[in-house]
């Protein structure tokens, strides 16, 4: 089982994802260079956070044109697991692998802090270790994490249980106070209908190591490993 972490020019969280998978979970991990065109031997793809191509034009807009992204799209189409975190989520939106778009946080500021998210769907390969309704504490760090989608798209996301995480209070209540960036319907992460592609603004790789004081993010990586193990059997 091998994870591939895609490295774009400007990726910043590539090493963090690599480190969690390698050191905390003892998994095989490889960096995949954005100029490559093949994903041979990769069982799950991670699009890490950062500022790919300096976020010029729009966040994720240039990265989606990188040579590797053709391979990522067909990997996703074949049912391969793709996790996009922060900038990775923005890239998935630009590619059209997930619906909707990102706009600037309502505060117009970059925000770095811990938030609470509620698991809305535990029946995905990324959340099978969680319970629906469970609340995680997890960091965000973004300037453009204000998720936007039109009413029809939101209705469809809800109808197909594609909303995986929503921002809530520590008690799991929805409200504008606990929504850090103004996202529509407090959405923090969504998946595709097939459940094999997920995008999320919060950073699970930043809370997956006991030394840093919070291990909630481990649930997501452990879920992925379970899902991949089940597939291999």
112 counts as catalytic? no
207 counts as catalytic? no
Q: Which of 73, 141, 184, 222 binds another protein (CB under 8 A)?
A: 141
Q: Which is nearer to another protein, 55 or 120 (CB)?
A: 55
Which residue carries 């956070």 as its tokens? 49
Site string for another protein, 25-64 (x = CB under 8 A): ------------------------xxx-xxxx--------
Choose, from 13, 17, 34, 86, the residue flagged as catalytic: 86
CA 195, CA 119: separation in Å to the nearest integer? 14
CA 70, CA 222: separation in Å to the nearest integer? 27
The number of beta carbons lying within 10 Å of the beta carbon of residue 7 is: 21
- For residue 5, what is the enclosing H or E element? strand 2-7
CA 68, CA 66: separation in Å to the nearest integer? 6
Site string for another protein, 152-191 (x = CB under 8 A): ----------------------------------------
Site string for another protein, 107-136 (x = CB under 8 A): --xxxxxx----------------------
**Residue 22 DSSP one-character state:** I
Work out how close the CB of 15 gets to another protein at its nearest, in angstroms, rounded to a whole number.
7
CA 143, CA 108: separation in Å to the nearest integer? 7
Q: Which of 3, 4, 16, 80 binds another protein (CB under 8 A)?
A: 16
In the Cβ-directed half-sphere of 161, how many Cα atoms lie within 13 Å? 10
Q: Which of 139, 145, 189, 204 binds another protein (CB under 8 A)?
A: 139
Work out how close the CB of 111 gets to another protein at its nearest, in angstroms, rounded to a whole number.
6
Sign of CA dihedral 98, 66, 81, 26: negative
């Amino acid at each position: 089982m091998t994870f591939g972490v895609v490295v774009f020019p400007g990726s910043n969280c590539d090493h963090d994802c690599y480190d969690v998978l390698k050191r905390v979970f003892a998994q095989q991990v490889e960096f995949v260079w954005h100029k490559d065109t093949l994903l041979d031997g990769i069982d799950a793809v991670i699009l890490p956070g950062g500022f790919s191509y300096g976020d010029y034009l729009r966040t994720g807009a240039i990265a989606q044109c990188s040579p590797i992204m053709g391979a990522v799209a067909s990997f996703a189409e074949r049912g391969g697991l793709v996790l996009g975190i922060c900038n990775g989520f923005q890239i998935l939106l630009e590619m059209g692998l997930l619906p909707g778009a990102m706009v600037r946080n309502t505060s117009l500021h970059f925000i770095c802090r811990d938030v609470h998210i509620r698991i809305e769907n535990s029946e995905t390969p990324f959340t099978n270790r969680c319970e629906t309704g469970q609340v995680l504490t997890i960091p965000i760090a973004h300037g453009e994490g204000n998720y936007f989608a039109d009413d029809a798209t939101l209705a469809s996301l809800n109808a197909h249980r594609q909303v995986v995480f929503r921002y809530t209070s520590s008690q799991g209540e929805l409200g504008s106070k606990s929504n850090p960036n103004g996202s529509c319907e407090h959405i923090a992460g969504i998946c595709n209908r097939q459940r094999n592609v997920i995008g999320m603004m919060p950073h699970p790789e930043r809370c997956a190591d006991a030394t840093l004081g919070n291990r909630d993010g481990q649930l997501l990586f452990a879920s992925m490993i379970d899902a991949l193990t089940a597939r291999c059997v």
